[in-house]
Amino acid sequence: MKKRYILSPGPTSVPSEVLLAQAAPVMHHRTPQFAEIAKECFEGLKKVFLTESPVLIFASSGTGAMESAVVNLLSPGDKTIVIRSGKFGERWGELCEAYGVGFTPIDVEWGKAVKPADVAAALKKTPGAKAVFATHCETSTGVLHPVKELAAVTAGTDAVLVVDAVSSLGGVPLRTDEWGVDVVVTGSQKAIMLPPGLAFASISEKAKKLSESAKCPRYYFDWRPALKSYAKNDFAWTPAVNMMFGLRESLKMLLEEGMENVFARHARLATAVRAAVAALGLELFAEAPADVVTAVKVPEGIDGGALVKKLRDEQGITIAGGQGHVKGKIFRIATMGFADTYDVPVVIAGLEVVLSQLGYSFKVGSGVGAAVKTLAK
Ligand code: PMP
């Protein structure tokens, strides 16, 4: 027997209350009973997205909601700005390419955060740009990008700000309305505490207007029929009924804790992980680390792939390695969603076991000690 722990940046572990809710008998979706559940989910999502705008639900992974933003906001040949600072920023560019939407890339070194002034300059140099595509927490690097400042840049322009918050929403503050973010997309399998399978997109009035004239081909992800149904607590197509049962439960749990407390919990856990990392003599990869995932540089002489594999296969703890050109060079510990105090000493203890086995020189217990000291504050 091996007890398994999942501290990867998605999928994340799911509370049993949510899993049990999803195990209820299937309900028909065109019924007043299901409309009640849909209504609760729509209302709850607004509170988690910190917006008064509609939040649509798709039966897809997070990338589906990203694709929905591109096809609903733009027409082939349109000009946009894409911030590429890791694997997921690159995805915005790939989606634009797939639909013939033009984009000016802002390439940011992996591990660094975008400078809002660079986005302002790119917008100036791209008259008529219709959208800026950004990533809130770039999961591949663990960087939290300054979305509030980016929203201040797009506010005075015709461009909408579209933010991939797949790994941050519900973990770190993203004040959609207060900051003026037009479209926020996320997925179910991270801080929202659900299995993979749902995606969400909030749509501001400015974004909705743009979507009325966009010419990219769209059907399944067309916001127009989805918004029409949304107004009646309904769905254009068959929703993922049982995942909606789970969503209702996870939203209830998040809102009972209170979003500000949820953010504070994430900050506390990530601070403890960072303290442990420093005490172990390891270095963070991100210059502006997000409180949902901590990316750490693999120390010289240690095989990063083996570290992640040993932790998973021998210790039962799943974290993530690096992606793209930082594969083998970093590892990532997520404390997002259904993560609490004692997940931190568990993952740090496992890390210490594996680091000792791989011959890394450090004082055993120093990481766990630093984490516990931080958590005790
Ligand atoms: N954006 C970010 C920031 C992500 O972390 C992920 C998933 N790791 C995605 C997009 C893609 O989401 P999905 O795999 O759910 O399509």
Domains and CATH numbers, the chain: 5-10+258-376 (3.90.1150.10), 16-256 (3.40.640.10)
Mutate which of 57, 67, 88 to test ligand 1's pocket (most atoms within 8 Å of Cβ)?
Answer: 88
Q: Is the pLDDT of residue 24 over 90?
A: yes
Q: How far apart are CA 208 and CA 183, in angstroms?
A: 9
Q: What is the mean pLDDT of residues 258-287?
A: 98
Ligand 1 in reach of 187 Cβ (< 6 A): yes
Query: Do strands 330-334 and 293-297 pair parallel, antiparallel, or not at all (unpaired)?
Result: antiparallel
d(CA 215, CA 259): 37
Contact (CB, 8 A) for 148 and 107 = no
User: How far away, in angstroms, is 188 Cα from ligand 1 center?
Assistant: 10
Q: Which helix (H) or strand (E) holds 113?
A: none
pLDDT at residue 1 above 90? no
Q: Which residue has the tokens 């127009």?
A: 224
**DSSP assignment of 15-58, as one string?**
-HHHHHHHTSPP--SSSHHHHHHHHHHHHHHHHHHT-SS-EEEE
Does residue 61 have its Cβ closer than 6 Å to ligand 1?
Answer: yes
b (16+ CB within 10 A) / e for 255-288: eeeebeebbebbbbbbbbbbbbbebbebebbbeb
What's the CA gap between 230 and 233, in Å, rounded? 5
* C-beta separation of 159 from 132 below 8 A: yes
Q: What is the pLDDT of residue 253?
A: 98
Per-residue model confidence as pLDDT tens digits over 181-225: 999 999 999 999 999 999 999 999 999 999 999 999 999 999 999
Helices (H) and strands (E) in the chain, counts: 14, 14
Q: According to the model, what pLDDT value does residue 44 have?
A: 98
- Whether the predicted pLDDT of 156 surpasses 90: no
What are the Cα distances from residue 39, in Å, to 161, 172, 200, 248, 258?
A: 27, 25, 15, 10, 20
Per-residue model confidence (pLDDT) at position 293: 98
- Assess whether the C-beta atom of 186 lies below 6 angstroms from ligand 1: no
**Ligand 1 site-directed mutation target among 57, 110, 137, 139, most atoms within 8 Å of CB:** 139
Q: For residue 181, how far is its CA from the centre of ligand 1 (angstroms)?
A: 19
- Helix residue ranges, H only, 280-365: 304-313, 343-357
Ligand 1 contact, 63 CB (< 6 A):
yes
Ligand 1: centre distance to CA 65 (Å): 10
Q: What's the 363 CA to ligand 1 centre distance in angstroms?
A: 36
| Each residue's pLDDT tens digit, 293-302 | 999 999 999 9
Cβ-contact 65, 186 below 8 angstroms: yes
Q: Could you give the CA distance from residue 189 to residue 62 in angstroms, rounded to a whole number?
A: 9
pTM: 0.98
Residue 165 Cα to ligand 1 middle (Å): 9
What is the atom index within ligand 1 of the atom nearest the CA of 196? 15
